[in-house]
Amino acid sequence: MPFYLEDANLSLLTELEASVLRAIADEIGENVVNPSMALTLIRRFLTPLLAAEQHDLLRVVGQPSWDRIHTLYPQLAFASNKGADRQLLAAATLVHLLFLHTTRPPRDVQFPPFVELSSFRRVAGYLKLPVVPLSVQVGEHQLDLYKFCQYCWLPARARDLCALHSIKPGNLGRFGKQSACGYTTQKQGQRLKELFNGCTHAFVSQEELDFHESDFALPFMLPPSGLAAWLLERRPFIGGMFAQRHTPEANPLDTLLSILYGSQGDLVAESIGGAVHLLTPITARAEGWMTAWNVRPSHGGNRRKLSV
């Protein structure tokens, strides 16, 4: 489909932003815009807006897709230092509008109704940080990372269950192998579900309350640097696992993603690019799960600790 520029509200744009957007629309004409073409247009028209050291912010890892292209939006906005860099913010805005208005009606950006996602959206709004859906391609499946399994934080496929909690115990050859929740069975997930939901709701509600009471100063979002210290402060169970697993030569984000997604952490890293704050609600849900796992009734026998 072509670029439906008339559907965009150009009155909110600067003169430069509007002129770049019109130039993109003229280049598209009546042509159908696919992800590959969109990425080419982004690089051609937005690269001149940025300093040379910022050009990598327009890079998409892997095959272009609309989800990966839209991840550039929060990545650019986050790098703008809350809008202080007007050129980066302009580039973020233009990426977002190109994503929205190459269909009619505009592409819909939605989140499933999870408390950790609702809280994340509200706080992101206060901080003026963009949020986008996250997805990852695993084999033939396009998985929505924000459509959580009812028993953990891994992405659901069918019946609101992830690949691990919808299969027999021990069959971990799919997405999430070796993740922190990967050895639990569906029956264990059923037993834990009520406590898990309660812990997550209480944790997320308290964190958002603390954020408001701090006059928006609390470091609510997962940061691009200082990740280990943030985890220990904001996500203590994950932070403890991180401290035991991380090595000096490893990338901190890779270590965190291996805890959350096991052997498929590299696919998630490609999906989020530099917009690491998008992992905030995922780590909140994972912290709620780990809290529940560590305080759960033992049901007889010794309580199994999370493996690192």
Q: pLDDT (tens digit, 0 to 9) for every residue of the chain, 308 residues total?
A: 689 988 888 887 889 899 999 999 999 999 999 999 999 999 999 999 999 999 999 988 778 888 888 888 888 887 877 667 889 888 988 998 999 999 999 987 666 678 999 999 999 988 888 888 888 887 777 889 999 999 999 999 878 888 888 765 444 445 666 788 887 888 888 888 888 988 898 889 899 999 999 999 999 999 988 999 999 999 999 999 999 999 999 999 999 999 999 988 988 998 888 899 999 999 999 999 999 998 877 554 444 555 44
- Distance CA(68)–CA(109), nearest Å, equals 13
Residues in the chain: 308
Residue with tokens 């004409």: 29
Helix (H) or strand (E) holding 137: strand 135-138
| The predicted structure's pLDDT at residue 257 | 95
What is the residue type of 153?
A: W
Between vectors from CA 55 to CA 101 and to CA 23, what angle results, nearest 5°?
Answer: 40
Strand partners, 155: 148
| The predicted structure's pLDDT at residue 112 | 60
0.75 cut: is pTM over it? yes
- Distance CA(296)–CA(279), nearest Å, equals 25
Residue with tokens 């819909």: 108
For the chain, count helices (H), then strands (E).
11, 2
- Distance CA(153)–CA(123), nearest Å, equals 20
- Distance CA(234)–CA(237), nearest Å, equals 9
| The predicted structure's pLDDT at residue 170 | 43
Chain centre distance of CA 196 = 21
| The predicted structure's pLDDT at residue 107 | 85
Helix (H) or strand (E) holding 303: none
Specify whether the backbone of 82 is left (phi greater than 0), alpha (psi in -120 to 50) or beta. left
| The predicted structure's pLDDT at residue 49 | 92
What is the residue type of 212?
A: H
Residue with tokens 């993740």: 179
| The predicted structure's pLDDT at residue 174 | 59
